Chains A and B, each alone.
Chain A
């Protein structure tokens, strides 16, 4: 049967556009060393390593975990490499958790990263494929039409996208690791920024970051023995659907709804909005906050923007969303999902510093990837699950 598991410690890099001061291994170790210090474990305590990142083409290294084995302290240990597109940081966390939940290991190190400055993600995602129209314009070009669909379907006022961006950027200024630090950005400034992929404006998009995130996940005994608070993993879920198919709902994908339904069921949550204290949701373009609020079941369909507009997703609101600043402040692609998972954990561990949500007991971490088709979710709590 499933064993209990807990996040014992988390760590992340200072995310920047170009971390030219470190190699890839050095970037990973910055996050790993912090996570292991936070968890108060040494290399001998680690039974296995699970690493995740987005496409190998971003760094030009095929299966970089092979070359990284020594730097990850993985030599002589089991090493797994997960790749599920943009959700990879989330699914990597879940795979690492399952190694403990299955009873296979006591303590697992998990890490995810992207070093975007080694190449150019827009290039890698828009390589012209023979016979195809060269209409690809990176992730923004892919998602902007679906944002337009959301606005049309929900009737949301245009200001909502700007409100999310201004909120997340101000949150990010409370997070010393965040790439963008914009403590005094206003909604009006966001609205005045350049339209990149109409209807998405410059300030409503995520930056391109170098960064890494790591966690140590341990079994029940390790969680019990921890000196400081740990984040107990109450439930995890993953779902996938094809990129395109006839009748696919690309605004509110079934895979995301199914993943959320399972998560709430397994975590024993009947009313997510009142029972969850903080949410770290994968929002690379600001409009995805209301879209995912609906997809995750925090609000009814078409109502997500109202929660945002009311201010209830800001720090101090009913459901603070991305108190860390989220993907809109730091986007080391492969690590972004794990950052969501670890920031949720930090909230219930009481280690979120200046962006700590008061008395957060339950928090959700969310990641998605591909064409809104891969979803990974976890719910963590300050108390042990039933």
Chain B
């Protein structure tokens, strides 16, 4: 079975509020152009297109349809869409290339999280009979998870603050980050609790953004870039939605996805952790030791554009492989309340 490689990645700036529309066209047009420029490809070179976005983020049915305007989709394109983070669109595209039907694919995700009240909109992801009618906001749910770990001794507030401090420091080198800075753990811990036990630094910002990845079959990839990031494996799993029946301090779906892959000798791991404690859960679930560089982009805490943040993690990890900064990189994406659904990909330099 032939492998598939990442050959290009581009993302918009992560911003608190884009003046653009909820169909993402204004963010996608320049981002697509950048991805094409970096690969020397054009739209006619793309065999399959797949995107990820959400109607509820935009507040209207079929919001993704207008996004195809950004492509210039005529002559017609071979295209699909998932109502998920675009990391899963990448999975669908990866499968498509492996069927042998196409040898290139372009994946994009976009979201204007600022259009509605994000934490309230996300409560509609919970059980529509017994949970969603209570409108439990996404931050409160994550805070329930954080406390379980704090009180069981699996992590501390200091551990959480260290994740935030490292992420913001790393984000100083990421020109597209929404948040960055040089902050001390002590100062972070002095800040008030905003959603007890969470502080502001524990929570990813509300971010508008878009990102694009171009994939190619391994034998085609070499012609496009000098050092493609070959995907050696990609797996995803989902956990039970019942928050009160899950051990929220673990992520069984991440553990299972990781167990199905070879996650040894990883140099860099880009983890999609919208809350500081979730990075701690993920590192444990994937067995990532202290020698693994975690989220050098600053991760979701530096910018969390809904429905493209997971795809961006894959792109950031691939970028480091393609640039020669890493030989083997891991990327992770999450979806749903309290890390319910998780995807893990491993990439290595294509020789």
Contacts and interface: CB of A to CB of B under 8 A. Distances in A.
**In the complex, A touching B, CB below 8 Å?**
yes
Interface of A: 1-3, 23-24, 54-70, 74-85, 91, 95, 98-99, 101-104, 124-125, 127, 129, 237-243, 245, 248, 253-255, 258-259, 370-371, 373-374
Nearest to A78: B236
B297 interface: no
Interface string B234-272: 011111111000000000110010000000000000000
Interface residues of B, number: 59
B336 interface: yes
A56 B91 CA distance: 22
A63 B83 contact: yes
Interface string B196-240: 000000000000000000000000000000000000000111111
A124 B61 CA distance: 7
Contacts of A3: 99
Contacts of B62: 55, 85, 370
B292 interface: no
B29 to A, nearest CB: 14
Contact of B128 (A67, A80, A91): A67
A253 B75 CA distance: 11
Interface of B: 1, 49, 54-56, 60-62, 64-66, 68-69, 73-84, 88, 91-92, 95-96, 98-101, 121-122, 124-129, 132, 235-242, 252-253, 256, 335-337, 340-341
A373 B125 CA distance: 29
B74 A83 contact: no
A76 B340 CA distance: 10
Contacts of B64: 83
6 contacts: A67-B241, A69-B240, A82-B92, A83-B55, A102-B1, A241-B74
A242 B74 CA distance: 7
Given A63-B336, A67-B126, A239-B76, A98 B83 contact: no
B240 A70 contact: yes
A99 B93 CA distance: 11
B68 A75 contact: no
B122 A62 contact: yes
A81 B82 contact: yes
Contacts of B124: 56, 60-62
Which 5 A-B pairs rank lowest in CB-CB distance, beginning with the nearest? A55-B61, A255-B76, A62-B124, A240-B79, A102-B98
A253 B336 CA distance: 37
A54 to B, nearest CB: 8
Contacts of A69: 238-241, 340-341
A59 B336 contact: no
